[in-house]
Each structure stands twice: as structure tokens, then as C-alpha cells.
Chain A
Amino acid sequence: DAKTTQPPSMDCAEGRAANLPCNHSTISGNEYVYWYRQIHSQGPQYIIHGLKNNETNEMASLIITEDRKSSTLILPHATLRDTAVYYCIVRGASNFGNEKLTFGTGTRLTIIP
């Protein structure tokens, strides 16, 4: 079951903010929104996660709508090294059983010089 929907690809100009959308209309109250990215042929890299409130760290900001049915990952000043596949994942509070981390097909973000 696909819990999230993301556009398959996006382009963003270098130096601009990259805004990656994710729809998760069936999210339940105890499920978190996680974002990972995978640069070609490398392991996935954790970016950020949130439950209800907006979150910010050194890599990105996560904006979650009030109804929690969608979210946006923001890379404030995109660089060429941000070119990667970005995965939006909805999961519960445990790593095991039904709340495991399930990757979809993600959004391929290309940063244009």
C-alpha cells in the first residue's frame, strides 16, 4: 500500500529553494512523516522528520499542514550536491512490524546550474 504520493521528478535552479511536496491523506494520528534522500548508488541519508509541528534542522525544513494530509520538504539554498531521489515516508513509532520504514519511488530532484 502506497501511504505517500510524490511527483516523480522536479528541477530546481542552483541557489534557489527547493520545495518538495508529499501527500499522505491517510496518515493516522500516531504516524510520523520522515524524509530521506539517496544520492546515486549510495545509501539513503536521513534528512528530517516530524509529527505535527514544523521542523527545521541544518539540512532542511519540514512544513506539515494542519490537517497533516500533506507536507513539504524545503531545501533553502539548493546546491548541485542536493541532486538525489527524495523519499517521503509515513510510519508509526516503532521500527518493527507494521510500523517499519517503507520506501516508495520518491521524487528525483535535479539541481540545475
Chain B
Amino acid sequence: ETGVTQTPRHLVMGMTNKKSLKCEQHLGHNAMYWYKQSAKKPLELMFVYSLEERVENNSVPSRFSPECPNSSHLFLHLHTLQPEDSALYLCASSQDSGSADTQYFGPGTRLTVL
């Protein structure tokens, strides 16, 4: 256990559905991240939050909408997704101290878009 939990672990949704992925960290960290891992592709950073402010958005389509209500929770709201959005979505957290900060990952949510 890394101290980062994600729910649900598996999700199947249609292209017209709206769903949300949840991430919670129990490590007292001040930064949280969303990554996407498609089949046979490297992990791609999607969003970064530091102290609940979004500091990076890597040209992610607007059908993905992140929310960070506090330093322990991170959501990824999904709407009108495409089949190519099927992937493993990973959440991570770290303590931004200005030095080499280690990111700790959750187990991921396996998303399938039909």
C-alpha cells in the first residue's frame, strides 16, 4: 500500500455518460497528479495540482475535467468520452519541497469506454 487510493478500480461507461474518478492520499502531501496510460504507451502526465491550484495542464481535451477540493482529494470528471480514452488512469501525490520530490502512485482506475 502506497497511501494513495483510487476508486473505482474498474469502470465501464458509454460515450454519453458522465462519471468521476476519485483519488485520495493519506500521506500529508501537497501536490497531486493525474496520469493516463494507454495500451503499449508510456505514462502521460495530464494534470498537476500544487496546494490545490492547477499548475500544469498538458493539452488535455476538455472532456476531462479535474477538481482538487483539498490537498488530500483529487477528482477527474469525465463526460462524452471516446473509445480511444480507454486506458489506465493513475493518480499520484508528492510533497513539493523544492528538492527531488518522490511521487507515490495509486493502483489506478481501468476505464473502458464503449
Contacts and interface: CB of A to CB of B under 8 A. Distances in A.
Given A42-B108, A45-B105, A46-B103, A96 B56 contact: yes
B21 interface: no
B102 to A, nearest CB: 5
Given A95-B48, A101-B45, A103-B43, A43 B98 contact: no
How would you classify the secondary structure of chain B's contact residues: helix, strand, loop or mixed?
A: strand
Interface in A91-107: 91, 93-97, 100-105
B108 A32 contact: no
Contacts of A94: 96, 98, 101
Contacts of B102: 34, 46, 49
Interface in B73-106: 88, 90, 92, 94, 96, 98-106
Contacts of B45: 100-102
A100 B2 contact: no
Nearest to A2: B42
Interface string A15-34: 00000000000000000101
12 contacts: A41-B88, A43-B90, A43-B92, A46-B103, A93-B99, A93-B100, A94-B101, A95-B31, A95-B101, A100-B48, A100-B56, A104-B42
Interface of A: 32, 34, 41-46, 49, 51, 91, 93-97, 100-105
